[in-house]
Amino acid sequence: MKHLKTYKLYESLITKSELVNKIKYLSTYLHNYMNDINKFTGSNLNFSFTYDTELTISEIFKVTSELDVNSPDGFIMAVANEFITWSNFFTTDRRLVDELKNFQLDEDYETYDDLHKINNKRKLYDQRVYWLLYLYVGQTIKQLISGTIWDIPSEKKEFTDEDKEFILDSLQVDYDEVDEDYIKLYDDVKITSCYKERGLLIKLPLIGGSRWSGVQINNDSDFMYRLQSYFNGAIIIPTYNDYYKIYLPFHKI
């Protein structure tokens, strides 16, 4: 889109702490705003919905809340990618993209009390306004990481047998429960392409039995740090099934 190529909101030179703080600020702002839409209008926005992202809206907000200055670069890239993909969904609306050039974030929004929000709900929560906000947040993050080490790669790398071995090696290093029986299960690990080739989903067998009593893996773990660095981006997605679900946004089969 020609408008997005020339539209620079911020300089791309930014420190890691500045970037993390900005992403978390925008995420918190958007999360609170969307909650207010549901509170003050009848829109009933669905937080389990996706706009071409692999993670749901609620999952995006959750993983963003886990970001801090010590997060691996790959985790920051993966989180940023979800917001950018979300916003890109709205770039097909040329009028919306054109309106973005004059859009400004209402930085006083967090100071408004409920009465002000109720009295101004038509202006504050018009559908066009929150679509612009979706677009703004993702495109702002895109501009922030442009030309930096957190920039989204232009092409996805092919997932190889060596990559599969790396995951197993990492599991063996970090979890004593990964024994010969587990390795046999791992041989049948399921690797699938995401919808619209947004990346890969890897379904790993549970370690230690069931999802209730087995090993819990989260994004703030040595195992995920290894994957986030090695794959230049990785997120573990909560699931109620009998497997771990790992999302590699920058790889393909």
Spatial CB neighbours of 157, under 8 Å, sequence gap ≥ 6: 250, 251, 252
3-state DSSP call for residue 251?
strand
Distances (CA, A) of 158 to 57, 109, 168, 199, 201: 27, 44, 18, 10, 13
- 111-127 confidence digits (pLDDT tens): 999 999 999 999 999 99
- 98-109 confidence digits (pLDDT tens): 999 999 999 999
d(CA 65, CA 38): 21
CA angle 223, 227, 229 (to 5 degrees): 115
pTM: 0.91
Phi, psi of 204 (to 5 degrees): -90, 140
pLDDT band at 208 (very low <50, low <70, confident <90, very high): confident
